[in-house]
Chain A
Amino acid sequence: MLPELAFDKLGADLLLAMCEGHGNVGPIVISKGEKMAKVRTDVPYQLVTILTNIYPFIGQKKLALLCRRCDEKALAELEKRGLVDEKRVLRIGLACSADQIKACRCSDPVPSVVHIGAPGKPAGEDELMNKLLAMPSEERLKFWTAQFRKCNKCFACTLNCPVCFCDDCVLEERTFVAEKGIPPGMSFHLIRTFHLSDKCVECGECERSCPAGIPLLTLRKMAAKDMKALYGFVSGDKKKVSPLLTTLEGEPMEDECHEC
């Protein structure tokens, strides 16, 4: 059972998962010995994001969390930047169901160690992405402006993203997102995509939490394709430095600021 796995086997002090409660399913954090309601892996919350909200407060405690492959990669990106101590964040490998893999158009669905669920096969390619890439650019622009026109500046994509870590978000700055009110125009989304280009792990949380139904995951996949084509780079590997932080020869740059 999950608590035994987390506390006894992995030696955690805290466990973060999603459970039933009050007629709903939501995140919970329990300590060793506390009771836990039924775990619901069919309602996946972005637990890495939730972890980052409470991480400043957990001191030296070890926290175990349900961890999908994308969550693993997100943790790797955070660890790379010194934002999370890998020794204190213990992963309980969660394999996504076939429906979840399909909904995410996921090409990399199996965590390194699987504790819960059966490993699934990667999904096919993102159909919308292929459709957009085949379109002439005027049509593509029309598609994206129609989508961005619905944006309500709720910041859900930013707040729910596991690798969005800046305290002072550039999207809140008048300098860059000049439009008063809503919709915030194209710069909001392009800036966000650029900032995520070397970090996004395609977990899909942005798309799932967007009230306007904008296909943000497709946009991320397009950016990921670009990074692969330009620099052979794929996010989520702790050992790979972001190509935006290395010289043309691939040497890491002397740098305090990880913002890019």
Chain B
Amino acid sequence: MNVEHVLTTCPYCGTGCNFYLQVVDGRLVGVVPCKTDEISLGKLCIKGYNAHAFVQHPDRLIHPMVRQGGDMRRVSWEEALDKLASEIKRIRDKYGPDSIAVLASAKCTNEENYLFQKLARAVIGTNNVDHCARLCHASTVAGLLYSFGSGAMTNTIPEFDNADCILVTGSNTLEAHPIIGSRMLRALEKGAKIITVDPRDTPLSRLAAIKLNQKSGSDIAWINGMIKVIIDEGLVDGEFVETRTTDFAKLKEAVSGYHLDKVESITGIPKDRLAEAARVFAKSKRAMVAYAMGITQHSNGTDIVKALANLSMVTGHLGKESNGLNPLRGQCNVQGSCDAGGLPNLYPGYQRVDDEQTRAKFEQAWGQRLPPKPGLTLTCAVKDALVGKLKAMIIFGENIMLSDPDITHVEQALKELELVAVVDIFPTETSSFAHIILPAACYAEKDGTFTNTDRSVRLLRKALAPPGEAWPDWKIACELAKRLGANGFDFASPAQVMDEMAKVTPIYGGIDHSRLDSEHLRWPCPTKDHKGTSILHTQKFTKGLGTFAPVHHKPPAEEPSEEYPFILTTGRNLFQYHTGTMTRRSPKLEREAPEPYVEINTGDAKRLGIVDGERVMVSSRRGAISLKAAVTDRIIPGSIFIPFHYAEAPANRLTNAALDPVSNIPELKVCAAKVQKA
């Protein structure tokens, strides 16, 4: 008998904890935390402890399948890949390469995402490559690129321990990033002040020193309000502003109108509490901001992110230990899939596709002419599919039928497409529209790397063989590329793919699998002897000087009306993960949160005559769903909350695909809804 403890990285959130998968004779029997792991310190959350539970589930896709007539028929890999390649060629010849979109995956490895975008650009000939980062931190990438020149978390996860003030906004950290939340608890034990700004009462906000509830979408108002207090009360870090930034005068003018009475009327935050929070934040020596979807998922998300960047710059809380601006990336490899170029306007390493010199470099590296125009974002690709401008989608590891906004239209879009190819580990709501389904290996069944939210490049180590005929995505991408006549896809291992990626991606320049096997490296890591970078922007910003952005409050695209009086906000809970393909097949997780629910304020429920547990109908202009009411004080009056994990009551049937003009992120956090007894 063979017992192995394989050290690998968690497939769930962007914290990227490492743990040991226990494998006995090819069977996964459990998870053991890794006590020396710098990120997790030997702790895990409930999803981490159950990360083995879905891997050998009987629902796993194990054979390639092709649609014939109305049914999916099992075929060989030869036949499936040949069919896929010939369809791609046919559609490309008939409609042009830009009629095809490739969806990369935040759950696939860096190596795989690198190959997906190379496949799209160098082989198919389009920059239409994007992935679910469009739905979560696209505003961060765009916003911080403007303000700092780099869109990543500026500090490291361990630094939260030593902050004396942590401003947490739009992040339910203890549920969405539990181990990062646990770092905040460590800071709390040491006397740190936590300030939370969220329309909901969260497990973290209950422990906060200053807990503020704001109306969803009013964030620029309170941030500008804080900045005004900081300027008025002389709490600006003058030295930092003078030597490290530009355009302060524009900021000062922009915030001058945000006096606290006005801010209170827009946001609902009592003015003296906001002022107190501003003072505590500004005066602290080590202050970190942590934020997530509550800030980014708005039709002006890019501007909201810039506002937070303004707040960090004006107080000088950047570029130093336990001082910084920290977007918490949601998925295990959403940071990496962005780093690896799974974006329509950026090559690997955030180099622009429309920059001639950069393009020339990649053309040389890949031996192929490359398309010059930025491609379609995911949200625009869906809209184009709806009107027949896009003809094909090759979807690696994403379930857009549940995760995208306004899924009624997503469904129509998928039906319009001439080719939908889905590569996944389980059948999903999206794969039910596929013409070709290819079975993939999951995280435990392949080598590769994930990059977590603090830029640590973490190794996956293959613990067991994939089931049936499933292949790792890197192999699928290479075989497909070869059938499309490409060179440059002969890789014997993911390590070789990383070697190629490192050559063209300066921030990953010094990264290779043998280094990663024993070293903890964070990018930028430009050379083989570089030890990696913990804190960003220590001497200067990635773009030199940081830029203040004069941004203003803008109401959400869809506000409550008489017919739809509630603000619907969506989000996550601790036990489930995204569209539930993995967690709902993990018994101990499913047991904890088996049913969809809508959180409704106690006062609002009473008014409508709704009791806890009663079935209700929640509807918006786009659709309606039926689910149970969870009557609670944890959400402010006038707002309701629905987690998006449940296919039987998909929150995204109701959400609004109103897009931020710069980043194209949809306003998943605000739309108007009504609640009725069912």
Contacts and interface: CB of A to CB of B under 8 A. Distances in A.
Interface of A: 14, 21-29, 43, 45, 50, 53-54, 57-59, 61, 149-150, 152-156, 159-160, 172, 180-183, 208-213
A57 B30 CA distance: 13
B46 A155 contact: yes
Contact of A54 (B29, B178, B182, B461): B29
Given A26-B5, A154-B43, A172-B588, A213 B36 contact: no
Contacts of B657: none
Interface in B169-220: 174-175, 178-179, 181-182, 185-186, 189, 203, 206-207
B185 A154 contact: no
Contact of B630 (A180, A210, A212): A180
15 contacts: A50-B22, A53-B32, A54-B24, A152-B182, A154-B44, A155-B588, A156-B43, A156-B49, A160-B33, A172-B588, A181-B574, A182-B175, A210-B43, A211-B179, A213-B185
B1 interface: yes
A163 to B, nearest CB: 17
Nearest to B206: A149
Nearest to A52: B30
Contact of A43 (B18, B36, B48, B186): B36
B564 interface: no
Given A182-B174, A211-B179, A22 B7 contact: yes
A26 B32 contact: yes
Contact of A29 (B3, B43, B207): B3
Interface string B493-532: 0000000000000000000000001111000000000000
Interface in B21-79: 22, 24-25, 29-30, 32-37, 42-46, 48-49
Nearest to A151: B203
Main secondary structure of the interface of A (DSSP, over half): loop
Nearest to A14: B3
B220 to A, nearest CB: 30
Contacts of A159: 49
A25 B630 contact: no
B181 A152 contact: yes
A53 B30 contact: yes
B648 to A, nearest CB: 18
B178 A152 contact: yes
Nearest to A182: B203
Contacts of A210: 43
A45 B181 CA distance: 24
Contacts of A24: 7, 18, 34, 36-37
Contacts of A180: 593, 630
A213 B18 CA distance: 19
A149 B203 CA distance: 8
B573 interface: yes
B591 interface: yes
Given A59-B1, A150-B185, A212-B185, A50 B32 contact: yes
B93 interface: no
A93 to B, nearest CB: 21
Interface of B: 1, 3-5, 7, 18, 20, 22, 24-25, 29-30, 32-37, 42-46, 48-49, 174-175, 178-179, 181-182, 185-186, 189, 203, 206-207, 459, 461, 517-520, 573-574, 588, 591-593, 630
A14 to B, nearest CB: 7
Contact of A211 (B25, B37, B178, B591): B178
Contacts of A153: 46, 574, 592
A12 B35 CA distance: 27
B318 to A, nearest CB: 28
A22 B178 CA distance: 25
Nearest to A50: B32
A189 to B, nearest CB: 16
Contacts of B43: 154, 156, 209-211
B33 A22 contact: no
A54 B29 CA distance: 8
B42 A209 contact: yes
A45 B20 CA distance: 12
A23 B517 contact: yes
Nearest to B3: A29
Contacts of B203: 152, 182-183
Contact of A25 (B1, B29, B36, B573): B36
A152 B3 contact: no
A22 B517 contact: yes
A23 B518 CA distance: 4
The 10 closest A-B pairs by CB, nearest first: A211-B182, A23-B518, A29-B3, A211-B43, A24-B36, A57-B24, A53-B30, A25-B36, A154-B45, A154-B46
Which of A45, A53, A155, A182 gathers most chain B CB within 10 Å?
A182
Contacts of B20: 26-27
B97 to A, nearest CB: 42
A174 to B, nearest CB: 8
A152 B203 CA distance: 9
Nearest to B188: A150
Given A23-B517, A27-B20, 12 more contacts: A23-B518, A23-B520, A26-B34, A57-B24, A61-B1, A150-B207, A159-B49, A181-B593, A182-B175, A182-B574, A209-B33, A211-B43
Given A26-B5, A29-B5, A208 B42 contact: yes
Nearest to B30: A53
A58 B4 CA distance: 13
Contacts of A212: 182, 185
A213 B189 CA distance: 9
A57 B179 contact: no
Given A24-B36, A24-B37, A154 B1 contact: no
B299 to A, nearest CB: 30
Contact of A45 (B35, B185, B591): B35
Contacts of B182: 152, 211-213
A59 B24 CA distance: 12
Nearest to B573: A181
Contacts of B46: 152-155
A27 B3 CA distance: 10
A156 B30 CA distance: 13
Nearest to B29: A53
Given A22-B7, A28-B5, A50-B22, A154 B178 contact: yes
A199 to B, nearest CB: 20
Nearest to B20: A26
A54 B22 contact: yes
Nearest to A63: B3
A27 B29 CA distance: 14
B142 to A, nearest CB: 32
Which of A28, A29, A58 gathers most chain B CB within 10 Å?
A29
B267 to A, nearest CB: 26
A19 B22 CA distance: 15
Nearest to A159: B49
Contact of B35 (A43, A154, A181): A43
Contacts of A26: 5, 7, 20, 32, 34-36
A172 B50 CA distance: 14
A153 B185 CA distance: 15
